[in-house]
């Protein structure tokens, strides 16, 4: 299928994904801004639900072979397409150079997916754009070399902090088929990547929120220190979210404090954390909801008294960027308790827009009890976070910037 306007191909790790609303929000907004693109997903969806945002996207979605052995003839056709084009040989040399430093099946899979993508891209595709600087950008980079078009990326968190420096540097260097430009959603990430870059500019582009998707903040009734205290967390059950330490902290809360915690999200540590809660005697105070769609998340926020996200740096270096759920909580004037990790302080000033606590259980427990026992404190911080969200963290400025950047490389091809 062809288009009368230049086409952009967007590589993503998986589509759709409940945990990546920031990507869905951006793609819908770019489409509504007139950017003509198709999605190329490296993996098939695993979530059973979707967000309403996903249903708004009109772009075509193509799925690359998740594993090369799944569709061997499709991969073979991609390789045969490649060897008949002069650009294949520089791309192959770059791949072999990368493979010599990263001898993994994943590396081979990236090149195979790129060959399939290069062959199947519409003839009028003039640029590629990848969400995440690790695997999706590797596929986009090889495919761009094979097709002779520029590519660009949006980096987030894990892809920055757990990637090998040599690979980041080469993706930021035009001499090694680096990106035309990059974007990242935190000032911390932008500073780090620009420090590694040879000649690729990496722009700070906050995701922000499309506030039209959210209801006005509820009129919250003033609770008393003895009223039930409902806490909420939304995030994958993985190490960097810090929920194991949060459970230990909840075990330290005062015996006379009437509290309940609701968690929304799936993840690899689900069974381990539920067992931990059982050992601590907390199970009857906790609701594990699993993955939920956006309306369900917002409804839970409107019924809660404190949003808790005790992020930390995982053992492998993985960490959050600026989690969108913090801005979503602010949109509903829900007080926030988090940690001063990564870019979270770019949105929250401690004691002004929320509490940034140490992630040790004693400190976390003290912070939770402090908000529970001082209702006025939560109200004042939530009002300040709501005002900051509307003043500095809306979606539109970032989308306008990205659209200009993408149109420039699409037109320059």
CATH number, domain of 149, equals 3.40.50.2000
Cβ(200)–Cβ(181) under 8 Å? yes
Task: With a cut of 60, say whether residue 1 has pLDDT above it.
Answer: no
Instruction: Answer whether residue 127 shows pLDDT above 80.
Output: yes
3-state secondary structure of 335: coil
At residue 116, φ and ψ (nearest 5 deg) are -60, -45
On the question of pLDDT at 5 being above 60, the answer is no
Residues 263 and 183 in one domain: no
Q: What is the mean pLDDT of the chain?
A: 95
Residue 3 confidence (pLDDT) above 70: no
- Tokens 């799936």 -> residue: 266
Residues 259 and 381 in one domain: yes
pLDDT in tens, 297-332: 999 999 999 999 999 999 999 999 999 999 999 999
State residue 215's pLDDT score.
Answer: 96
> Is there a domain that residue 258 lies in?
yes
- Per-residue pLDDT at 6: 62
Are 190 and 231 in the same domain? no
- Does one domain contain both 165 and 180? yes
Average pLDDT over residues 225-234: 96
pLDDT value for 258: 97
Q: Do the domain assignments include residue 269?
A: yes
Q: Check if the beta carbon of residue 260 is closer than 8 Å to that of residue 292.
A: no
310 and 292 in a common domain: yes
- Per the domain annotation, does 327 fall within a domain? yes
Query: Does residue 146 carry a pLDDT above 70?
Result: yes
Q: Give the domain range for residue 361.
A: 215-392
Overall average pLDDT of the 259-279 stretch: 97
The answer to whether residue 264 is domain-embedded is: yes
Band (2; pLDDT cuts 50, 70, 90): very low
119 and 184 inside one domain: yes
Residues 35, 144 within the same domain:
yes
Q: Is the pLDDT of residue 173 over 60?
A: yes
pLDDT in tens, 32-68: 999 999 999 999 988 888 888 889 999 999 999 999 9
How many domains is the chain partitioned into structurally? 2
Q: Which of 213, 211, 189, 215 is nearest to 202 (CA)?
A: 189
- Tell me the percentage of the chain whose pLDDT exceeds 70: 98
Considering the domain boundaries, does residue 272 fall inside one? yes
| Arithmetic mean of pLDDT, 88-105 | 96
Look at residue 2 and tell me if it is in a domain.
no
Q: What percent of the chain has pLDDT over 90?
A: 91
Cβ atoms of residues 86 and 148 within 8 Å: no
- Is residue 162 situated within a structural domain? yes
* Tokens, residue 257: 């404090």
Residues 239 and 250 occupy one common structural domain:
yes
Q: Judge whether 13 lies within some domain.
A: yes
Say whether both 271 and 181 belong to one domain: no
Question: What does DSSP say about strands 229-234 and 259-264: parallel, antiparallel, or unpaired?
Answer: parallel
Please state which of the ranges 19-23, 76-80, 108-112, 302-306 shows the lowest mean pLDDT: 19-23
* pLDDT value, residue 312: 96
How far apart, in Å, do the first and last CA atoms of the chain sit?
Answer: 20
pLDDT of residue 263: 98
- 134 and 72, same structural domain? yes
Query: Residue 201: is the preceding peptide bond cis (ω within 30°)?
Result: no
Nearest-angstrom CA–CA distance, 269 and 314: 13
Regarding whether 252 and 138 lie in a shared domain, the answer is: no
Same domain, 102 and 197: yes
As a whole number of angstroms, the longest Cα–Cα distance in the chain is: 74
């Amino acid at each position: 299928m062809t288009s009368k306007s230049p086409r952009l191909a967007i590589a993503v790790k998986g589509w759709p994904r409940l945990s990546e609303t920031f990507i869905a929000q951006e793609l819908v907004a770019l489409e509504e801004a007139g950017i003509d693109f198709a999605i190329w997903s490296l993996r098939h969806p695993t979530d059973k639900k979707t967000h309403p945002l996903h249903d708004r996207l009109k772009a075509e979605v193509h799925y690359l072979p998740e594993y090369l052995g799944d569709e061997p003839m499709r991969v073979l056709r991609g390789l045969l397409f490649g060897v008949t084009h002069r650009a294949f040989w520089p791309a192959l040399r770059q791949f072999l150079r990368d493979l010599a430093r990263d001898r993994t099946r994943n590396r081979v899979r990236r090149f195979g997916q790129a060959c399939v993508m290069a062959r199947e891209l519409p003839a009028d595709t003039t640029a590629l754009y990848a969400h995440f600087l690790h695997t999706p950008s590797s596929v986009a980079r090889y495919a761009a070399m094979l097709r002779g078009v520029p590519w660009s990326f949006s980096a987030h968190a894990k892809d920055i902090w757990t990637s090998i420096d040599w690979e980041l540097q080469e993706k930021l260097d035009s001499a090694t088929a680096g990106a035309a430009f990059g974007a990242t959603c935190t000032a911390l990430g932008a500073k780090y990547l620009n420090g590694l870059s040879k000649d690729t500019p990496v722009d700070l582009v906050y995701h922000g929120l499309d506030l039209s998707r959210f209801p006005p903040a509820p009129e919250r009734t003033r609770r008393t220190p003895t009223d039930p205290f409902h806490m909420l967390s939304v995030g994958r059950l993985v190490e960097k979210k810090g929920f194991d330490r949060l459970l230990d902290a909840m075990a330290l809360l005062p015996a006379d404090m009437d509290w309940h915690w609701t968690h929304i999200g799936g993840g690899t540590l689900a069974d381990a954390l539920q067992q931990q809660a059982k050992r601590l005697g907390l199970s009857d105070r906790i609701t594990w909801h699993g993955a939920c769609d956006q309306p369900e998340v917002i409804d839970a926020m409107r019924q809660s008294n404190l949003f808790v996200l005790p992020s930390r740096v995982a053992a492998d270096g993985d960490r959050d960027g600026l989690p969108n759920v913090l801005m979503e909580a602010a949109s509903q004037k829900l007080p926030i308790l988090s940690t001063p990790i990564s870019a979270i302080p770019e949105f929250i000033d401690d004691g002004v827009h929320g509490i940034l606590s140490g992630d040790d259980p004693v400190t976390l427990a003290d912070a939770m009890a402090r908000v529970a026992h001082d209702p006025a404190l939560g109200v004042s911080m939530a009002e300040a976070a709501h005002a900051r969200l509307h003043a500095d963290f809306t979606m539109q400025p970032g989308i306008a910037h990205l659209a200009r950047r993408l149109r420039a490389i699409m037109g320059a091809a």
